[in-house]
A and B are shown apart, each in its own frame.
Chain A
C-alpha cells in the first residue's frame, strides 16, 4: 500500500534540496501523514502507538537512571535508594520506569489480544505477527533483567529461579545456566551482565519495532471487519484522522499511568524487593511481576512426569511453549474469515481464553498446592487447547456470519442501523 507512488511534493527550495539527496522527509510524510488507514479503526487499534511511546519513555527514564545506578552487589540496592532519596526528581524517574514496565506490558497484552480477536495475524500479515512475538520475547527478557537490578530479595530470588529453569535441559542446561550467571550462583557477574543486557535489549526492541512498522506499512492495517481495503473510500489519511485518535487514546492511557506513578507507585511491586538481597534467606513465596504470572502458573502446573520428561523439564517446556506457540498461530487458524466479529464461536472461545489468561495470572500468585495446582492444570490445558484444537477446528466447522462487501459498506450499514442519517457517508478522502 505504501509502496509505489508517493504523494509528497517538496515546496520550498530547501525541501527540494534535501529530497534529492536523502528523502527522509518524504518517507516520514508517506508513512505518517498521507499513509491511508481504514476509516473504521476502533480504540483497540491505538495500542500500537501507545507501545511506541512507552518504549521511548522507558528508554529515556532508563538512560537517566543508569547515570545514577551502580551495578555492583554491594552498591546496587543503596544506589537505587539514593535515586529515591537524594537525586533531584529521582523518585519520579524510578517510579516512572518501574510502573512504566507494568504499563508497557498492560498495553502489549491488549495489543496481542486485539490481534487475536480481529485475526490480525492472518495472511498476508504473518511476518508482521512473528516480528511482534519476537518483540514480546525481547520485552520479557528486558523486563526480567531490569527487575534484578535493584538487587532486592525478589530480584535475587527471581533471578535464581528463572536462571534455574535452564538446568532442566539435559546436557546443555548447566552450561547455559553458568553462562547466564557468569558463575555457579547469582552474584556480581550476573548483576553486571544483566545490567549490560538490560541496557542493550531495548535498542534491539527498537530495531525490531522498525521492522514491525515497516511490515505493517507494506500490508496495511487490518480493521474490525477484517476486510482488506478495496477503494479510496475505505480509508482516511493517517494525519489528521489516526493521529488525533491515537493522541486522545494515549492521553487516557497516560492518565492511568500517572495514577499509578503518583498515587499507587508500589501497588504492582512486591514489598520484599525493598529488602536487600540476601542469599541466605529465601522469601516465603517467590513470585514474578504480575505480567509474568500466567506463564509462572503454567510452569508450575506440570507436577507430573511425561515419559522421559520429568516434571521440571515439562514445566519449563510448557512455559517456553506457551510463547513459542504464538509463532505458528497464523497457520493454526484455518478460518477463511479474519475478524471475530463474523465468527460467533471463535468470539466465545476468545473471551474464555481471556478469562482463562486472567485466571492463570491469579493462580501464578498463589502457592502451588491443592486446588490451585488443579486449576492451573486445567487453565494450561485450555491455553494450549485454544491454539492447537479450537483454532484449527473452528475454521473448518464454524459457519461465519454474512460479511459485508467492503469496509465502506460495513460502516454505512452500522450508521443506518444506528438510526443516524447516512448523509454524505462516503466522505471524500482528504488525502494531501
Chain B
C-alpha cells in the first residue's frame, strides 16, 4: 500500500512539473494591447451566502435582485424558464406572487372564437420575454441578442487554471464562478482600455468579459438607479452582488434543498462506512492478509 502511495506521489509530482511548464508558456504568450485569451482579468472571488456546504440564499438579497432584474435587466433579457410561482421561494406570500404576476401581460389563446389574446399573467406563467423572437432581440440590440437569464449563472464561469481547479475540490467547494463572473462584469465597465487597444465601434470595453475585449451591452447599472426599500446601500457594488445572487437562484432554485439533503446523506454514509469498517476488522481479525 505504501509503495502504491509513493508511486502515486511520484506520478503526481511529474505531472505537476509538466503543468508548471505549460502554464508558464501560456503566461508568456500574453500581450496587453492585443490579448488573445479572455477574459483579460479574472473575476474577484466574492463572499456569497449560498457558498459552501451549509450555504443558503439570503431572501432579502434575492428580493432586491428580483427588483433589479424587473426594473433594469428585463428590458432586454428574458428569463423564460422561471415561473412566477417559484417566487414564493424568495419569501413572498401567495397573494404577493399573484399580484407580482398580474403586473405582466402574456399572450394566450386561441379562445373560443379562434383569436389569440393577451391577459394578465398568473403564478403558473413564466416571465414573458421582452422581444417576440431572437431576431427581434438582435435587431433591437446592435445585432447581438441579449442572452436569456434563466441559467446564466451556471452557463458562465471563468476557468480557474492549474492548480486552483484542483484546490477547489478540497478547499471551498468553489461553485460560484457564475455569480463571481456576473458581478465582475457589471462592475467592470468603468475601466479604461490599455494603450493601443482598438475597441470596435458600438461595443464597450470590459476586461472581465469572457469572450472578447468588449461587448455590445453598455454599462447597465449605475449608483442610485434602483430604489431599495430595506435600507441597503443603493450602489453599483451592492446592485451587482444582489442581481448576481438572484440569477444564481434563478439558475439553481433547489440549491438549499440539495445542500441540506447532502448533509444528511453525508452523515449517513460516514456512519455507515464506519460500521462497515468495524465489521470488516472483526471478520478479518483471524486472517493474515
Give Cα A39–Cα B286 distance, bound, in whole angstroms: 12
A252 at the interface (CB under 8 A from B): yes
A362 interfacial contact with B, CB 8 Å: yes
Interface centre among B8, B257, B269 (most CB of A within 10 A): B269
Q: Is A16 among interface residues, defined by CB-CB distance under 8 A?
A: no
User: How distant is the Cα of A244 from the Cα of B26 in the complex, in angstroms?
Assistant: 48
- Residues 272-289 of chain B: 1 if any A CB is under 8 Å from the residue's CB, otherwise 0? 110011011001101111
The 0/1 profile, CB within 8 Å of B marked 1, for residues 140-174 of chain A is: 00000000000000000000000000000000000
Q: A272-B155, A358-B11 are in contact. Are A92 and B276 (CB under 8 A)?
A: no
B155 and A271 contact, CB distance less than 8 A: yes
Tell me whether B22 and A255 are in contact (CB under 8 A): no
Size bracket, chain A contacts: 35 or more
Q: Contact between A411 and B289 (Cβ–Cβ < 8 Å)?
A: yes
- Would A241 and B288 count as touching, CB distance under 8 A? no
Residue of A nearest to B24 (CB): A371
Interface residue? A284 (CB, 8 A)? yes
Which of B81, B157, B162, B288 makes the CB contact (< 8 A) with A411?
A: B288
Q: Which of B136-180 contact A (CB under 8 A)?
A: 147, 150-151, 154-157, 162, 168-169, 173-175, 177-178
- Among B12-20, B186-194, B228-236, the one that faces the other chain is B12-20
A23 within 8 A of B: no
Q: A236-B287, A412-B288, A427-B288 are in contact. Are A351 and B7 (CB under 8 A)?
A: yes
Chain B residues within an 8 Å CB radius of A44: 4
Given A251-B273, A255-B273, A422-B288, the answer on whether A262 and B265 have CB atoms closer than 8 Å is yes
Within 8 A of B (CB), among A216-262: 236, 240-241, 244-245, 247-248, 251-252, 254-255, 258-259, 261-262
**Contact A362 B155, CB 8 Å, known A244-B280, A265-B258, A427-B287:** no
- Min distance, Cβ A377 to any Cβ of chain B, angstroms: 13
Q: Is the CB of A255 within 8 A of B269?
A: yes
Give, as a whole number of angstroms, the nearest-CB distance from B34 to chain A. Answer: 16
- CB distance A241 to B19 under 8 Å? no
Q: How far is the CA of A293 from the CA of B173 in the complex (A)?
A: 23
Chain A, residue nearest B25 (CB): A371
Q: Which residues of A contact B265 (CB under 8 A)?
A: 258, 262
Measured between beta carbons, the chain B residues less than 8 angstroms from A362 are 15, 18-19, 22, 162
CA distance A273 to B274 in the complex (A): 38
* A386 interface residue (CB < 8 Å to B): no
* A251 with B283, Cβ < 8 A, contacts A44-B4, A85-B81, A412-B288 known: no
In the complex, per-residue mask of A341-358: 1 if CB is within 8 Å of any chain B CB, else 0: 100000100111011001
Query: B270 within 8 Å of A by Cβ?
Result: yes
Bound CA span A354–B18, Å: 13
- Nearest CB on A from B27, distance (A): 11
Contact across chains for A275 and B155 when beta carbons are under 8 A apart: yes
14 A-B pairs besides A266-B175, A274-B155 with CB distance below 8 A are A81-B150, A85-B254, A92-B261, A236-B287, A251-B269, A255-B266, A271-B177, A271-B178, A274-B154, A275-B151, A347-B7, A350-B7, A354-B7, A412-B288
Chain B residues with a Cβ under 8 A of chain A: 1, 3-4, 7-8, 10-12, 14-15, 18-19, 21-22, 25-26, 29, 38, 53, 81, 86, 147, 150-151, 154-157, 162, 168-169, 173-175, 177-178, 211, 251, 253-254, 257-259, 261-263, 265-266, 269-270, 272-273, 276-277, 279-280, 283-284, 286-289
- CB-defined A-B contacts under 8 Å, sample of 14: A39-B289, A40-B289, A84-B254, A236-B289, A255-B270, A263-B175, A265-B175, A267-B168, A271-B156, A272-B155, A358-B12, A359-B19, A362-B22, A425-B288
